[in-house]
Amino acid sequence: MKPRLITAVVACTLIGAAAIPVSGQEKPAKMNPDRVNPFVEPYNTPFDIPPFEEIEYEDYLPAITAGIERQRQEVAAIVNNKQTPTFANTILALDQSGELLEKAMIVFSALDESMSSPEMVAIAEKAYPMVSQLSDEISMDEGLFQRVKYLYDNRDNLGLDTAQKRAVESSYKSAVRNGALLSKADKEKLKQLNTRLTDLYLKFNKNLLNATNAFEIVVDKQEDLAGLPASSIAVAAEEAEARGHKGKWVFTLHAPSRLPLLQYADNRDLRRMMYQGYTRLASEGEYDNAPVIKEILKTRIEKAKLLGFDNYADYMIDNVMAKTEAAAENLLLQIWKPAIARVDEEVREMQALADKEGGNFKIAPWDYYYYAEKVRKDKYNLDEDEVRQYFAVDSVRNGIFYMANKLYGVNFTELPNAPKYHPEVKVYEVTDSAGNHVAVFMTDYFPRASKRQGAWMSEFKGAYTKEDGTEVRPIIYNVGNFSKPTADAPALLTIDEVETIFHEFGHGLHGMLTRAKYKSQAGTNVDRDFVELPSQIHEHWAFEPEMLKIYAHHYKTGEPMPDELIKKLEAASTHNQGFTTTELVGAALLDLEWGKLTNADSVNVDEFEAQVKEKLNMPKEVEFRYRSPYFKHVFGSDGYSCGYYTYLWAEVLDCDGFELFKEKGIFDPATAKAFKQYVLEKGDSEDPMELYVKFRGHKPQVDALLRNRGLK
């Protein structure tokens, strides 16, 4: 029963809090008393893109405060309506409430993640608790709940269509899950717990950003850079100069700096320093997240018990496709066993190569990336640095646009003069084959100190249909932290970065192509273990030979990737999948183990992780993809808490689904039309498994995932 915006912003921080000045460092100007807050009037911009250049730090809190009060009034009008509850005067009215709050929070939260600053952190510490409190008020409003309950109890007799009935059922279940059936005293207790969690998530994220930016490895001897690609060395030199170390090289924990060092640096001690720096991130000193994690766990356990669940995992998974923690764990263990068996094979291959080269050591975790790359070169004659020459960022962007056009008939036209929150952002209008406006799409691909790590998709405006039938079309964006351009070369992406761009663009297509009628059901507002299907299935196109010939062109010569190199990529496609799968599944199982706790009073993060590793018989050469102190998915919000498994759950769907494309043709019009109709357009208007079966013709099996990863 939570309004869509409040659920999206508080429960799933794909977006966060920062200000418009592009460096994130400028001081706010003094407030002009005659100036109009840009959030309180229509934007009057192309396609209602937020007028970023007009927004000041001082605009956020007044707009958020006014938006909260306005939504209180809108909800009160619903509750005080004397007419018998109907879908229109209750569910739809609630779905459409909170427009002003949504306008302010959707910009504020987006920029918090990508343009953070001390000023925005201060605003976040006030804004998020205020929004969380409003969310609790609405969720626990007895009068509102009684109206929803009336509709729920009579849902079979009201002539509701499928989407409306699902919205009623979702509203009722959401209300119950958020305390509607609790006593007055317990409702107050739940509000306190939710506010506490909001504060803790803010602290976790603040520690993580500060710890990430505080770390650096300064290299002052050129010989220590042996093995590293020239592009990585150039970026490290630029970073050193920016940090006051001119003439030296600086490596950071951001992926475009960290991963090439681990993968290519011949200096084993340098690799060890980077690996240990990353795996101890936010684990000690003033930015230690261990105490924060302990408090989060204690608060979550208390919340779950208050709501009638044995533990937090049961509470979180009850509301998605898997339904139970046992079902999620069962899936993971089916993948885990063949994955760790493959790790043993990979380590033997790496050890043999290290011994052959005269290395007098056993393969350690900081050797895995390095020797996996050496084995790939030795086994498949594939050099990723050679491959990167064909993956300039603009070429890859052209590739995702080509894919979308061939599959779904949409076109992308750059809008160079459109409002943008940073000079590196690119803005596009999306149109269909008849030239009709479909969406606005933005990309923000390169790292900076004010941006959190990782890659994500979200929206500056959601899609829905007004009561008069007018369609409101969305503004979608992708954010990444990919390899930056250098003085003499464009941004050349790694294989993993290319896959990530296709992944996030898949989320983007889910948001752009939605035709669901109601805000709360549109685009990515679906079950957490279904939301990764559109993103992950589109990864498969990235390295299909037919696609590579279209978009993978050498950045200097413009020549397409040669057939010989494409064949090498195909042959090596399942290389190192033991490691990749083990670190991913291990993190998902760790997440579930945290969720199964019923008491966290004596928790020690390092000891708990060690116990989970021992229980799983985890290979000592592999670490969890994210250790707990920097596991933002799980402890930075509720978004993926007890839900990191959903990447694997959805992978079962996407691998099974892509096999149909492989069978019919990767651009088969009928298959693409079915996927668009039943998955991308429907949102949460129907049961997700029923939609998948309509597209695929049967329920998925885990075998397709194992085949795709080369584990079966």
Beta bridge partners of 254: none
Question: What is the spatial distance between Cα 712 and Cα 709, in angstroms, rounded to a whole number?
Answer: 8
Q: Does the annotation count 504 as an active-site position?
A: yes
3-state secondary structure 550-618: HHCECCCCCCECCHHHHHHHHHCCCCCHHHHHHHHHHHHHHHHHHHHCCCCCCCCHHHHHHHHHHHHCC
Q: Distance from first CA to last CA of the chain, Å, rounded?
A: 43
Q: What Cα–Cα distance (Å) separates residue 329 from each residue in 313, 319, 404, 587, 649?
A: 11, 16, 34, 12, 10
Active-site residue identified among 113, 497, 504, 623: 504
Question: What is the spatial distance between Cα 454 and Cα 449, in angstroms, rounded to a whole number?
Answer: 13
Instruction: Give the sign of the dihedral formed by CA 417, CA 418, CA 420, CA 425.
Output: negative
Q: Are 578 and 710 in contact (CB under 8 A)?
A: no
| Exposed/middle/buried for residue 185 (C-beta within 10 Å: 0-12, 13-18, 19+) | exposed
Question: What is the spatial distance between Cα 620 and Cα 583, in angstroms, rounded to a whole number?
Answer: 11
DSSP codes of every residue in 150-186 = HHHHTGGGTT--HHHHHHHHHHHHHHHHTTTTS-HHH
Question: What is the spatial distance between Cα 522 and Cα 464, in angstroms, rounded to a whole number?
Answer: 7
Beta bridge partners of 439: 430
Q: How many CB atoms lie within 10 A of CB 340?
A: 19
Element (H, E) at 276: helix 268-279
Helix 99-114 to helix 4-11 angle (10° resolution) is: 20
Report the catalytic residues. 504
